Structure 1
Amino acid sequence: MNSIPCVIMRGGTSRGPFIRMKDLPSDQAQQADILLSLMGSGHALQIDGIGGGDPLTSKVAIVERSSHPDADVDYLFAQVDVVNKRVDFNPNCGNMLSAVGPYAIETGLVEPQDGTTVVKVHNLNTQRLIECHVPTPGKQVQYEGSVTISGVPGSAAGIQLSFLDIMGSKTGQLLPTGNACDEIEGVEVSCIDAATPIMLLRAESVGLTGHEAPAELDNNAALLTRLETLRREAGRRMGMGDVSQSVLPKVVLISEAEAASHTLNVRYFVPHRCHKAIAVTGAMAVAAAINVPGSVANHMAISTQKLSAGQLLSQITLEHPSGSIELTAEYRQQNAFDLARVSLIRTARKIMSGQIFYATPLKVAGNHAIETVD
């Protein structure tokens, strides 16, 4: 058995190990083998690792000092498949990012300031910059506080995240297909790339209300097959090629919000299971879509009188299965295609610190270890 230093942290509505890049091999295939072992993937319960048998608890944050002139640390996110021997380094996770600032301070990568420490993060998945405002009274990371976020029990100290210039994070374009709205197999969809690529559609267009519980959606095999067919074609049209083995683009179903003060109701898929809340990056993509003239989200927001045609909505609240999430969008010169930053409040908690052990693969097929699963 081998081991590396590790801090397990909750970031927003996700949880996973935080490790230093310097403690991993430089070869990404070898990194993937280590992550698969330490998370216990290849078993539905991830019984031989620390994964929680759910995509939200099968995530890894890899952090290191940054060579970027405007950043303190680099952050590489890895989504580790629960059942399959697969690690995806393509997506981003804003929830795990919530804990990158505290982790960087705790491990000495960033010197804390008295009051608030701003940790500037360079996201290697998207090549974008994020400012993390971490409360550090007395130059110590403060985890306890009165801020609550939907999907997490109790309260904690608030951490403000400001994502800069998120448009075209993967494809280089806010509208990768060139259109605000496309039709795929008779269904109107909007393909948006802001923080993460998404395919957005009205829930009613696939026979849903949009207010179904995640478990009900996960058990609807016909629905999941239909959404996957649409997602693969959307990925092709977005210039992402064959996305059958990728978690991107994500699928977002929208419907009218129940609360008058909320903008839209969403169901977010990751991509083959419904998120019990919504990913931070997914929420930012939806927020961007709301302000794109002609998009599915823009049409719905106008039809439900959440905004007027030609208006830019800066304060956006999205309903999701666990509650809601609030975002602030800032545009340059009131231009819907020049989104400067999106900010929101998250929380984080340090759970444990120590050494994490992983097994060396005995057999290798391609880049990944082989393991028999009962």
Structure 2
Amino acid sequence: MPADAVRAGIPCMLMRGGTSKGAYFVATDLPVDRAARDDLLLRIMGSPDPRQIDGIGGAHPLTSKVAIVSVSDTDDADIDYLFLQIGVDEPVVGDAQTCGNLLAGIGPFAIERGLIPAVEPETTLRIRLLNTGDTATARVPTPDGAVDYDGDLAIDGVPGVGCAIDLSVTREAAVLPTGNAVDEIAGHRVTLIDNGMPVVLLDATEFGIEGGETPAELEEDEDLRAEVERVRLAAAPRMGVQDAGGQTVPKMFLLSPPAAGGDLRTRAFIPHRVHTSIGVLMAASVAAGARIPGTIAHALAAPPQGDVTVLEHPGGLFTARAEAMQDEAGIWRGASASERTARKLFDGRVFPRPRR
């Protein structure tokens, strides 16, 4: 990293991954010291400020994200991926979760930066998710030895079409952190589940809503937000999340029966704003929950067909391919697969503001 990053700038690629947008960096271009790195990223993104007017953040959690990428030092992966959620109006840099949407851009970014060679017509990468310890496999279209961002895949929440990037994630840990399909927490029946993203599944009717409200309507309901947060803080320690008040996990899902041709309707608090669609690994966790008898999701969902669970969200539909199976000890394990698109938006140098 340059001694004077403010004047010289830092190599940075702005990419859309799935329904999110973030700044992608090679690890060696950032400080090794965590405190120095976090301070630098806050200055780059323009936080804390609700508009992030003095940085490249997009004034929303879905567009205030960072991916840090490096060549992996393990034989089991080609690339390491660290995800950081940058607070918008608070000076917080969170690493307790990963991001399945930005994951869609990791393969293209690694190829663009020369961290891994492209192979015609498709390049396969094994990606270690440093936040969770899970491993993902990405297949990226690379005709003529370069990433091709054009394609015919459309995903709800993103205008137009793009190249199809196949993602699969295998998870070693049990998907039910407490071992229970249902727990009672803070006076509510909940399902705690983690198939790549720690989420809490809730019955929308217990919170006095119908389930089809818009994100704006839910965010305006201060009593609802406070109650959801009360449950989140009580549930977090049972999912291994400490100091949840300073973290963005677990995510909170209000669930209801399908109303638009899917298998289950979702509204996600992430955790203080409401998602305009649904994250890839959030969807994997919800879909796994819908396949485990006795969970909140299973009770509300239409019977799944095959290996696909169609989740309704504010922006449309998400087709989740998630598995939930019991091992010989009766422990539920999970895996997931998805198709997403990604696109390089800008490549160059970013200039952090001199101080916060």
Shift of 1:332: 6.2
Q: Extract unaligned runs of 5+ from structure 2.
A: 1-5
Q: Residue in 1 aligned with 2:153?
A: 147
Q: Residue in 1 aligned with 2:313?
A: 320
| Residue 74 of structure 1 pairs with residue 80 of structure 2 | yes
Selected match of 1:352 from 346, 349, 353: 346
Instruction: Detail structure 1 runs of 4+ shifted over 3 Å in the superposition.
Output: 330-340
Q: How many residues align?
A: 349
Amino acid at match of 1:342: S
Selected match of 2:142 from 121, 136, 145: 136
- Could you tell me how far apart the structure 2 residues matched to 1:191 and 1:249 are? 9
SS at match of 2:43: helix
Say if 2:326 and 2:333, in contact at 8 Å, map to a contact too: no
Deviations 1:98-140 (A, max 9, x none): 0000001111011111111111111110111101110111111
Say if 1:159 and 1:347, in contact at 8 Å, map to a contact too: yes
- Could you tell me how far apart the structure 1 residues matched to 2:252 and 2:332 are? 24
Q: Residue in 2 aligned with 1:26?
A: 32
Q: Residue in 2 aligned with 1:211?
A: 212
- Could you tell me how far apart the structure 2 residues matched to 1:209 and 1:281 are? 25
Shift of 1:314: 1.6
- Could you tell me how far apart the structure 1 residues matched to 2:230 and 2:36 are? 32
Deviations 1:300-345 (A, max 9, x none): 22xx4x15xxxx9521110100011112234668988454531111
Amino acid at match of 1:354: G
Shift of 1:42: 1.4
Amino acid at match of 2:315: S
- Could you tell me how far apart the structure 2 residues matched to 1:331 and 1:296 are? 15
| Residue 202 of structure 1 pairs with residue 203 of structure 2 | yes
Q: TM-score, normalised by structure 2?
A: 0.94
Shift of 1:183: 1.5
Say if 2:175 and 2:332, in contact at 8 Å, map to a contact too: no
Selected match of 2:113 from 107, 113, 125: 107
| Residue 243 of structure 1 pairs with residue 244 of structure 2 | yes
Say if 2:186 and 2:234, in contact at 8 Å, map to a contact too: no
More deviation in 186-195 or 337-346? 337-346
Say if 1:253 and 1:266, in contact at 8 Å, map to a contact too: yes
SS at match of 2:37: helix
SS at match of 1:99: helix
Amino acid at match of 1:326: T
- Could you tell me how far apart the structure 2 residues matched to 1:333 and 1:178 are? 11
| Residue 158 of structure 1 pairs with residue 164 of structure 2 | yes
SS at match of 2:235: helix
Q: Residue in 2 aligned with 1:289?
A: 289
- Could you tell me how far apart the structure 2 residues matched to 1:110 and 1:100 are? 11
SS at match of 1:267: strand
After superposition, the Cα gap between the structure-2 partners of 1:332 and 1:217, relative to the gap in structure 1 and judged at 3 Å, is: closer
- Could you tell me how far apart the structure 1 residues matched to 2:239 and 2:170 are? 22
SS at match of 1:6: strand
| Residue 83 of structure 1 pairs with residue 77 of structure 2 | no
Shift of 1:258: 1.3
Identical aligned pairs, as a percentage? 42
More deviation in 338-347 or 12-21? 338-347
Amino acid at match of 1:20: V
SS at match of 1:244: helix
After superposition, the Cα gap between the structure-2 partners of 1:332 and 1:257, relative to the gap in structure 1 and judged at 3 Å, is: closer
Say if 1:329 and 1:339, in contact at 8 Å, map to a contact too: no
Shift of 1:26: 1.1
Say if 1:131 and 1:161, in contact at 8 Å, map to a contact too: yes
Q: Residue in 2 aligned with 1:119?
A: 125
Say if 1:292 and 1:337, in contact at 8 Å, map to a contact too: no
Say if 2:170 and 2:336, in contact at 8 Å, map to a contact too: yes
- Could you tell me how far apart the structure 2 residues matched to 1:330 and 1:137 are? 31
Q: Residue in 2 aligned with 1:5?
A: 11
Q: Residue in 2 aligned with 1:366?
A: none
Shift of 1:240: 2.5
